[in-house]
Amino acid sequence: MNVLGELALWIALPVSLWGMVLGFAGGRKQRGDLTLSAERSVYAVFFLTIIASLGVVDAFLNDRFEYWYVANYSSRNLATYFKVSGLWAGQRGSLLFWLLLLSLFATIAVWSNRRKNREFMPYVAGTLLTITSFFLVVLLFADVNPFETLGFTPADGAGLNPQLQNYWMTIHPPTLYLGFTAFTIPFAFAVAALLNGRLDSRWIVLTRKWTLLSWFFLANGIIFGMRWAYEELGWGGYWFWDPVENASLLPWLTATAFLHSIQIQENRGMLKVWNMGLVILTFLLTIFATFLTRSGLIESVHTFAQELKIAFIFLGFMASILMAGLVLVLYRLPKLKSENQIESFVSREAAFVFNNLILLGATFAVMWGTLLPLISEGFTGQEITVGPPFFNRVNLPIGLALLALMGIGPVIAWRRASKKNLKKNFLWPLVVGVVTAAGLWAAGARHGMALLTFGISAFVMAIIVVEFWKGTRARARIEGEGVVKAFYHLVARNRRRWGGYIVHVGVVFVFTAFAAAPWYGEFLQTLEPGETMTAESPLGHTYEMTYEGISTNIRDPDKNLQWQATALVSVRRDGEPLGTFTTEKRRYIRPEAQIVTEVGIKSFPMEDLYIILADADLDRILQGDAGGQAVTFNVLVKPLIAWIWAGGLIITLGSLISMWPSAGAVRAPTAARGRGTTGAEPLPAGD
Amino acid sequence: MALLGALLLVAAVVLFILLPVARGQHASLTREDDEMTEAEARRRVTLLALRDVEYDYHTGKLDEADYMALRKELSAEALAALRAFEGEEGATDVDIEAEIAAVKAGLAAGTTCGACGHRNPDGSRFCAACGQALAAREATPSS
Amino acid sequence: MKQNGRFMVGLVGVAAVVTYLVWTGVSDTMVYYLTPSELIAKIDEDPTFREVGVKVSGRLVVDSHEQTPGSLEHHFVVHDLEDESVTFPVVYRRPLPDTFTDSPEMVVDVVLEGRFNDAGVFEAQTVLTKCGSRYEATPEELRT
């Protein structure tokens, strides 16, 4: 199985290259047989990549430690569940995993278009296979082959990094990778449209759903990553502005910009070059993110590898894509002319243009901050870094502007909005926003930026609620429907718009949660068993933590534990017992290097209590020395953390509504049409 | 054994991807009949734009004068696209058909006042200009 | 055309604001990232550099870590990655990360942020360890 897996990779490369050449040739010469062969190559690459991936999984499950990759990321006593996730635990596996997901999406895209949009398909297949070829070359020639052997068989593997042994960590990278790879399809269609010159609105219809899908996975992947950091890294943070985190944020920002500006092109035939640019940029950023995650270009707690060879291969690839994209856009410039002009400053188009500029501004700021160490070193020889203070400072005003636009946009009509009614439409939401901020100020919240965020959030929420209400009312009146039915039809008939607004609600929740950061409280105290410490929350609750003692569990091979020291803490909130919480330090048998802290978290709708076993005299505790049981706890009280996760769920819900195939897409297989469901593209769900 | 498996794999893959070329298999590289035509795309875009204009007007985002102008412009486009599209046979799309019906009814239905000739917005029961009751209009079935 | 003109003003405005934010953000929050040798050379050259907050990467000197009993005050010594003779003492008054272990078998690379105090001890505000999630062993290590 393992040998077959490696062989599959070696077969996949020539197949992929063959298909790449034939795809472009088939398009150029308009030869159906060549195109078919290219499309079949896509399927074949997918099939071979499955075999290769199964080979890696099989090696993990059977403890084949003669493989370098398995020896480094697994051990005999690792849970089966984590052995499977070994496929994406390290650089080598995750590059293969990337290829697997990419070829999966490529197969779906080619298969679903086997009888339609044929004039795009040779180039789509060619582009997709160019990218799979690139990853195959990396896997086989850049010293990252997951099937590389050590030349001997160690008795056991080094084990999986304990911080990666977490539920969120098993689903966070795959979700992010799904988002990165899904965006390859819009890119392939964009390249195809540029090559065949069919730059009417059709390629947009073809790519929009894929962009949404990619956006959906990226958003979820980012939030899962935050969840992992929060639960596992043990310092109570969820976002560190780490280069790898930033890298996953960048394509999400540009994809968000694209999802908005594409609507201008659809409705008004404008911004065609801009949209093309956004597709190419987003795709480049997905590659950049993969590259940054899996190479050591910029130091980061997540970055695994240090190989320079792979860095040059990736940079070369990205530069070629950029050049090819530029050349193609320049070549097609005459066909990318705008059909209209923006008629009014106060119009939906204008709001979207500003949204795009601000999102790109954020992209630029994050990118600049991430790459500054490299840039400064390159130009001045002096490495300069910026940390969270820079990113927070720059992105706060940018984020607030975006938040405000989320409130302004929906109220402004396409083309030329009513200036007369603007005041009327904004009045009550503005009142809601101001009253919210004033109320919070009166309640003792004295942080200007945070109050501004809360006020704007309330304003946006009010706008969206009013929007739903007005829409329902208008529909009920026009169609003579009851309110519930009208509401359902309103959303169902224009999923893209209303799903989008629901996503905005989720974003408002997340932003509101971020704005609570000034009230995060930290209480650090050393306690003897039986002693109690208190923590005051900004919402007026008092938490009392009593250190009940510490228990140890030494040498438990079934759990892969060398030892474990668990501190018991009973917690009372305002005098009411909340139960007993544990926070512990443990050391695994494999890998044995590192001590890990597990924290105790109690989550309420309005705040989280986060208990960390910060410091302990582990030598004495593990010897059972009754005199050495004093430990230091770090207790964090963090308001509104649960709102981040709630906002994430709302974003998921909204994007699912937006993506849901509309009823019109499922056509009855009528005899007249002959072809049944292979007919037209799904109808757009909205504006 | 492993060698045999490997050879079989290579042979199968090569055969699979080479067959279309070897047989000179035909595959269309042009737009198929049942795909969305430009007329259909245009129809769809104008209908959706019209729907948005209606919606924006009803929720007070468009001034009446702009609404009338945009509506007139888009209605003409939509009707032209509809006629062109009706020439093409076989639209069985449930959702869009309902929308078309709604828009057509709205265009044809008497929202124009019988007494003074003022054009009232959809759903009006009384004329905004003279207060005359408008002809009872059946609510358009939407599904 | 009038609309376009106003638009250009808006666009340029947004671009200018973002540029301004990034520019001032960098100049106000930037931190030099140095090796211990570079840091000491800079201080020799310009003693006021002692006051500047910097980020330094170095390697923990084995057996140098001491914790003042009953407190969270940690003292340790860091040496340059390339030149082991260049060292400086560090004090840190918060719980250390779990990956910070002072043992002869472990190489611990640290990234410190902070500045020197008057006593010539580096007062670290943050201590990060660099082994982090990297667990790739050499074949020799796997033999055991």
- Residues B118 and B93 placed together within one structural domain of the fold: no
State the best of B59, B66, B96, B111 to mutate against chain A, taking most chain A CBs within 10 Å: B59
Domains, chain A, in order of start with CATH, read 1-165 (1.20.120), 520-639 (no CATH)
- Evaluate whether residue B95 is within a structural domain: yes
Number of domains chain B is built from? 2
Q: Which helix (H) or strand (E) holds A253?
A: helix A243-268
- CB of A335 within 8 Å of any CB in chain C? no
Three-state secondary structure readout of A653-666 = HHHHHHHCCCHHHC
Per the CB < 8 A criterion, the answer to whether A216 and A151 are in contact is no
Q: Using an 8 Å CB-CB cutoff, list chain C residues near A159.
A: 135
d(CA A25, CA A36): 12
Amino acid A471: pLDDT: 87
* Closest residue in B to A28 (Cα–Cα): B29
| B142 near A CB under 8 A | yes
Are A595 and A586 contacting, i.e. CB atoms less than 8 angstroms apart? yes
Give the per-residue pLDDT at A169: 80
Instruction: Name the residue among A317, A322, A288 with its Cα closest to residue A180.
Output: A288
pLDDT of A443 > 50? The answer is yes
Query: In the predicted model, what is the mean pLDDT of chain A?
Result: 87
Distance (Å, whole) CA A457 – CA A398: 14
Of A30, A200, A664, the CB nearest to B93: A664
Looking at residue A291, its pLDDT comes to: 83
Say how far apart CA C95 and CA C73 lie, in whole Å.
8
pLDDT in tens, A614-661: 888 888 898 888 888 999 999 999 999 999 999 999 999 999 999 887
Confidence of residue A669 (pLDDT cuts 50, 70, 90): very low
Q: With beta carbons under 8 A apart, name residues in chain A contacting B31.
A: 118-119
What CA–CA distance (Å, rounded) separates B115 from B132? 7
Task: Say yes or no: B40 and B78 in one domain.
Answer: yes
Interface test with B, best of A9, A46, A49, A118 (most B CBs within 10 A): A118
Query: Does one domain contain both B88 and B102?
Result: yes
A157 touches chain C (CB under 8 A): yes
Average pLDDT, whole number, for chain C? Answer: 82
Tokens linked to A157: 């593997």
Question: Do B40 and B92 sit in the same domain of this protein?
Answer: yes
What ipTM was reported for this prediction?
A: 0.85
Chain A positions touching C18 (Cβ under 8 A) are 358, 361, 364-365, 398
Question: What is the per-residue burial (b if ≥16 Cβ within 10 Å, else e) of A566-594?
Answer: bbbbebbeeeeebeebbbbbbbbbbbebb
pLDDT tens digit sequence for B44-77: 777 777 877 888 888 778 778 888 888 888 877 7
Return the axis-axis angle of helices A184-196 and A272-293, rounded to nearest 10°. 140
Which ranges of A480-561 does DSSP label H, i.e. alpha helix? 483-493, 495-515
- pLDDT band per the 50, 70, 90 thresholds, residue A570: very high
Residues B67 and B100 grouped into a single domain: yes
Please check whether residue A152 touches C, CB under 8 A.
Answer: yes
- Determine the pLDDT at residue A303: 44
B23 has a chain A CB within 8 A of its CB: yes
Q: Would you call C133 and A164 a contact, using CB atoms and an 8 Å cutoff?
A: yes
Is B73 inside any structural domain? yes
- Domain contains B4: no
A556 forms beta bridges with A561
Q: Could you say which of B29, B89, B94 has the minimum Cβ distance to residue A118?
A: B29
Burial class (CB in 10 A: 0-12, 13-18, 19+), A423: exposed
Q: Does C26 contact chain A (CB < 8 Å)?
A: yes
pLDDT, tens digit (0-9, with 9 covering 90-100), for A28-83 = 999 989 999 999 999 999 999 999 999 999 999 999 999 999 998 888 888 888 89
Are B96 and B40 members of one domain?
yes
Q: Looking at beta carbons, which pairs linking B120-129 to residues 24 or more positions away fall under 8 Å? A: B121/B57, B121/B58, B121/B67, B122/A478, B122/B54, B122/B58, B123/A477, B123/A478, B123/B58
Determine the Cα–Cα distance for residues B117 and B110; give it in Å rounded to an integer: 10
Question: Per mean pLDDT, which range of A213-217, A522-526, A650-654, B75-79 is the poorest?
Answer: B75-79
| Residues A487, A472: Cα–Cα separation, whole Å | 5
**pLDDT surpasses 50 at B117:** no
Q: Which has more pLDDT, A567 or B127?
A: A567
- SS3 per-residue string spanning chain B: CHHHHHHHHHHHHHHHHHHHHHCCCCCCCCCCCCCCCHHHHHHHHHHHHHHHHHHHHHCCCCCHHHHHHHHHHHHHHHHHHHHHHHHCCCCCCHHHHHHHHHHHHHHHCCCECCCCCCECCCCCCECCCCCCECCCCCCCCCC
Structural domain of B133: 111-143
Q: How far is C82 from chain A (nearest CA, A)?
A: 17
φ, ψ for residue A174, nearest 5 deg: -60, -40
**A205 or A126, higher pLDDT:** A126
Subunits adjacent to chain B (3 or more Cβ pairs under 8 Å): A
| B67 and B129 belong to one structural domain | no
Please say whether the beta carbons of A204 and A192 come within 8 A: no
- Residue A407 pLDDT > 80, yes or no? yes
pLDDT tens digits for A142-183?
A: 888 999 988 888 888 888 877 778 788 888 989 999 999 999
On whether both B101 and B43 belong to a single domain, the answer is yes
Which among A506, A676, A526 has a CA at the least distance from the CA of A612?
Answer: A526
Predicted confidence band of residue B84 (pLDDT cuts 50, 70, 90)? low
B9 belongs to a structural domain: no
* Listed residue (A485, A468, A493) closest to A662, CA to CA: A493
SS (H, E, C) A396-448: HHHHHHHHHHHHHHHHCCCCCCCHHHHHHHHHHHHHHHHHHHHHHHHCCCCCH
Task: Name every residue whose Cβ is closer than 8 Å to that of residue A37 and which is 6 or more positions away in sequence.
Answer: A18, A19, A22, A26, B17, B18, B19, B20, B21
What is the C-alpha to C-alpha distance for residues A485 and A482, in angstroms, rounded to an integer? Answer: 5
Q: Residue A222 in contact with residue A176, Cβ under 8 Å?
A: yes
pLDDT > 90: percent of chain A: 55
- Looking at residue C23, its pLDDT comes to 92
Partner-chain contact A384 C31, CB within 8 Å: yes
Give, to the nearest 10 degrees, the angle between helix A388-411 and helix A348-380.
Answer: 170
**Considering only CB atoms, which chain A residues are within 8 Å of B49?**
267, 414
Across A118-122, A269-273, A404-408, least confident range: A269-273
Q: In terms of Cα–Cα distance, which of A347, A497, A359, A327 is closest to A419?
A: A347
Q: Does B119 lie in the same domain as B103?
A: no
- Residue B66 in domain: yes
Share of chain C above pLDDT 70, in %: 88
- Give the separation between CA C83 and CA A366, rounded to whole angstroms: 34
Instruction: Please check the confidence at residue A302 and state whether its pLDDT lies above 60.
Output: no
Would you call B7 an interface residue with chain A, using a CB distance cutoff of 8 Å?
Answer: no
Q: Are the beta carbons of B49 and A7 separated by less than 8 Å?
A: no
H, E, C per residue of A177-190: HHHHHHCHHHHHHH
Q: Which residues contact B48 (CB under 8 A, 6 or more apart)?
A: A267, A684, A686, A687
Task: Determine which of A88, A92, A94, A383 to mutate to test the interface with C (most C C-beta atoms within 10 Å).
Answer: A383
**Which residue among B27, B70, B143 places its CB closest to the CB of A35?**
B27
Q: Which of C49, B23, C6 has the alpha carbon at shortest distance from A353?
A: C6
pLDDT of residue A301: 43
B50 and B62 fall within a common domain: yes
- Rounded to whole angstroms, how far apart are CA atoms A649 and A510? 10
On whether residue B30 sits in a domain, the answer given is no
Same domain, B139 and B91: no
Touching check for A174 and chain C: CB below 8 Å?
no
Same domain, B142 and B96: no
Interface size, chain A vs chain B, as Cβ–Cβ contacts under 8 Å: 184
